[in-house]
C-alpha cells in the first residue's frame, strides 16, 4: 500500500520561503500571485494491506515525526 503525506505550515505561520518564491514570480512577470505557501510531500511504501490500519499508522508517524504540529499541519492519502 502507498501513502502520500502532505505537510504544510499552518495558516497564520509566516512562510519566508513561500514569500521569497512569490517575490521571484513577481520579478519574472507572473502577475496576480496572491500568496505562495511551500510545503512538502512524503511518499511511503507500506506493508499494511488494510486501508484504515495504514491510515492510522501514517497518522501516528505524522504526529511523532513527519510533521511538527506546533507549526505544521498534514493530510494523509492512502492508495
Partner 1 sequence: MKAAVITFPGSNCDRDLADAFAKAGADVVRVWHKDTALPAGVDVIGIPGGFSFGDYLRCGAIASRSPIGQAVVDFAGRGGYVLGVCNGFQVLTEMGLLPGALMRNAGLKFISKPVALRVETTDSAFTADYARGQEIVIPIAHAEGNYQIDAEGLKRLQGEDRVAFRYAANPNGATDDIAGVLSENRRVLGMMPHPERVVEAAQGNADGAALFRALAGVMAGA
Summarize as ranges the residues that interact with partner 1 (CB under 8 A). Answer: 13-14, 16-17, 20, 64-66, 68, 70-71
Please, what is the minimum distance in Å from the beta carbon of residue 33 to partner 1?
A: 18
The distance of closest approach from Cβ of residue 68 to partner 1 in the complex, given in angstroms and rounded to an integer, is 6
Nearer to partner 1, 27 or 64 (CB): 64
Query: How many angstroms separate the Cα of 73 from the Cα of each of 8, 32, 43, 76?
Result: 5, 26, 16, 10
What's the longest Cα–Cα distance across the chain? 48
Nearest residue to 46 (alpha-carbon basis) of 8, 6, 79: 79
Residue 34 Cβ vs partner 1, minimum distance, rounded to whole Å: 20
Amino acid at each position: 500500500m502507498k501513502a502520500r503525506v502532505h505537510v504544510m505550515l499552518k495558516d497564520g505561520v509566516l512562510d519566508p520561503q513561500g514569500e521569497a518564491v512569490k517575490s521571484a514570480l513577481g520579478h519574472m512577470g507572473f502577475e496576480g500571485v496572491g500568496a505562495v505557501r511551500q510545503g512538502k510531500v512524503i511518499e511511503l511504501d507500506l506493508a499494511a494491506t488494510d486501508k484504515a490500519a495504514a491510515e492510522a499508522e501514517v497518522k501516528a508517524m505524522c504526529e511523532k515525526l513527519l510533521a511538527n504540529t506546533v507549526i505544521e499541519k498534514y493530510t494523509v492519502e492512502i492508495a
